[in-house]
Structure 1
């Protein structure tokens, strides 16, 4: 799947938004990718995650387990795990830190794909990877459908993504004039208000 096809899937789902958005990181951007909308259609999710799984296989990386950070990574992590034929689990925040719950475990030395929907700053990816390492897992790859950093972010593992876009994100006190003129909305999983 090429970049235009992937972005077309987001557009068709109403998941590629333009305006002024406050991201879960606290940064602001003129572009927002609402992966929950693109993944709500099981056929579309299977197409995108299947294309990702094919791209990962082409790198030669083999994984034993897919681990995703909740909330955004849960659906994409599950579907990528299904496509790869391995189990998929997720981390959840407990008192502000990612942890494994629900009886999930990571076998020592397991080859792990840490899978996200979108990577912007890489913070939740790095936090998830830290938890995987604490359990003794070996993160052999990080994955995402969309890498908003243009490929510049470092999460501590090689990143495979379906799409790399350069969607600048700004500190709230350093907004370009065109964003200053529009009220910010926060459509993500951590709230709906600016």
Structure 2
């Protein structure tokens, strides 16, 4: 599916928002992809995840792992379509960890799947967990790459939508300077903007 058609689906489902947002990375942006809004529709979930699964189908993936919370639904569906185990990593005391009895085996080929990549911080943390377990990162797949491909985390990396979306460090955000109220619709709470 072409990027324009996919963006239309995001807009129709109110998953692409305009405003002033604090991203999970801590950066600020005038656009926000609320993937949960589009992924709640099974037909869109299946279509989006099949693009990721199809890209990695011949990569010998044994397991799909996703960072919580945003990547869980996508990772689970990609894993289902690939017919492999799916697990997730989550934060405990501010650090990404593998818990809940999940584990990775030495030499296991692991696909890291995320909903949105801006800086790639969460994905990089999950990749480090995979490597620390002696497993191998088979690739990185995501629904939206907000960096338009400038954030490269793995040799084999795929995004359903790749485009450049404005984002700024909090301290140089023009929206904060202009007093635009900030929202934090993601999984981590926003701190007050510098203008507050």
Alignment TM-score, normalising by the size of structure 2: 0.91
Partner of 1:130: 128
Cα distance in 1 between the residues matched to 2:120 and 2:174: 23
Local SS of the residue matching 1:173: helix
Mark the CA change 1:139 to 1:8 in structure 2 (over 3 Å): closer, same or farther.
same
Unaligned runs of 5+ in 1: none
RMSD value over aligned CA atoms? 1.8
Alignment of 1:84-123 (within 5 A): 84-123=82-121
Cα distance in 1 between the residues matched to 2:125 and 2:89: 10
Cα distance in 2 between the residues matched to 1:66 and 1:90: 8
Cα distance in 2 between the residues matched to 1:4 and 1:193: 33
Cα distance in 2 between the residues matched to 1:177 and 1:21: 9
Cα distance in 2 between the residues matched to 1:94 and 1:191: 15
Unaligned runs of 5+ in 2: none
Cα distance in 2 between the residues matched to 1:119 and 1:8: 19
Partner of 2:150: 152
Asked if 1 retains the 8 angstrom alpha-carbon contact of 2:16 and 2:32, the reply is yes
Determine which of 181, 184, 188 is the counterpart of 1:183: 181
Determine which of 44, 64, 68 is the counterpart of 1:66: 64
Q: How many residues align?
A: 192
Worse overlay, 112-121 or 183-192: 183-192
Partner of 1:47: 47
Alignment TM-score, normalising by the size of structure 1: 0.92
Cα distance in 1 between the residues matched to 2:52 and 2:152: 19
Asked if 1 retains the 8 angstrom alpha-carbon contact of 2:20 and 2:175, the reply is no
